[in-house]
Amino acid sequence: MVRALDLAWRGWGRVHPNPLVGATVLAGNALVGEGWHPEYGDRHAEPLALDQAGERASGATLVVTLEPCAHRGKQPPCTEAIVRAGVRRVVAALADPNPAAAGGADRLRAAGIEVEIGLLGHIAAAQNAPFLHGFREQSRPFIALKLATTLDGRIADAAGRSRWISGREAQEYVHW
């Protein structure tokens, strides 16, 4: 799941209003396929990972950061690709909160595929906070606030000159 979460970040800034999604295909202990949702309207992570795995996806485990979709939008349902590939088990970090896309786990179970939801779900939820917020708090916008101050509560040096207080990682995270 850690690898799938890392892959999901590759869609950062390009998939909105869709969520960040990463997927890996495991045959035994071997990683045989991986994918991520690269941009809005493009193919989803699951079929990309399954394509890379090819025939090795049959009987394998698909690890994905969000429950596979069960609806037809700009792309066909990911559940169809999973069933067609012969995947034995799906492990998802989060259930899909979107009522239009949800139901993938039920469809997979109906096809005889073992489904587990919740592995590292707290990390996937943090990764997709803007997406999830829209389904939990529809009357309020998603706002991220970052405040950097020195130990004495200032935002500049002693002479009043502006200086970078926060580190590079914090600057990259908030300037998206």
> For 21-30, how does the pLDDT look when each residue is reduced to its tens digit (9 = 90+)?
999 999 999 9
**Same structural domain for residues 175 and 89?**
no
The string of pLDDT tens digits covering residues 31-42 is 999 999 999 999
Structural contact between residues 91 and 82, judged by C-beta atoms closer than 8 angstroms: no
| Residue 10 DSSP class | G
**Same structural domain for residues 21 and 40?**
yes
Share of the chain above pLDDT 70, in %: 92
> What pLDDT is recorded for position 141?
67
Rounded to whole angstroms, the Cα distance separating 76 from 43 reads 9
**Same structural domain for residues 103 and 149?**
no
Residue with more model confidence, 151 or 8: 8
Q: What is the CATH number of the domain that holds 93?
A: 3.40.140.10
For residue 87, is pLDDT > 80? yes
Q: Which of left, alpha, beta for 59 (phi over 0: left; psi -120 to 50: alpha)?
A: left
**Same structural domain for residues 126 and 67?**
yes
**Same structural domain for residues 117 and 148?**
no
For residue 66, is pLDDT > 60? yes
What is the number of structural domains in the chain?
2
Strand, coil or helix: what is 32?
strand
Q: Of the listed 34, 39, 46, 169, which one is catalytic?
A: 46
Residue with more model confidence, 87 or 101: 87
| Residue 134 DSSP class | H
Share of the chain above pLDDT 90, in %: 68
The string of pLDDT tens digits covering residues 140-158 is 666 767 777 777 777 777 7
| Mean model confidence pLDDT for the chain | 91
Instruction: Give me 174's structure tokens.
Output: 């908030």
**Same structural domain for residues 176 and 116?**
no
67 is catalytic: no
Tell me whether residue 126 is exposed, middle or buried, using C-beta atoms within 10 angstroms of its C-beta: 0 to 12, 13 to 18, 19 or more: exposed
**Same structural domain for residues 109 and 154?**
no
> What pLDDT is recorded for position 80?
98
Domain span at 90? 2-136
**145-148 long-range contacts, Cβ below 8 Å, gap at least 24?**
146/170, 146/173, 146/174
**Same structural domain for residues 92 and 175?**
no
Structural contact between residues 113 and 87, judged by C-beta atoms closer than 8 angstroms: yes
> What pLDDT is recorded for position 123?
97
Residue with more model confidence, 13 or 4: 4
Tell me, what amino acid is at 18?
N
pLDDT confidence bin for 83, thresholds 50/70/90: very high
**Same structural domain for residues 11 and 71?**
yes
**Same structural domain for residues 98 and 171?**
no
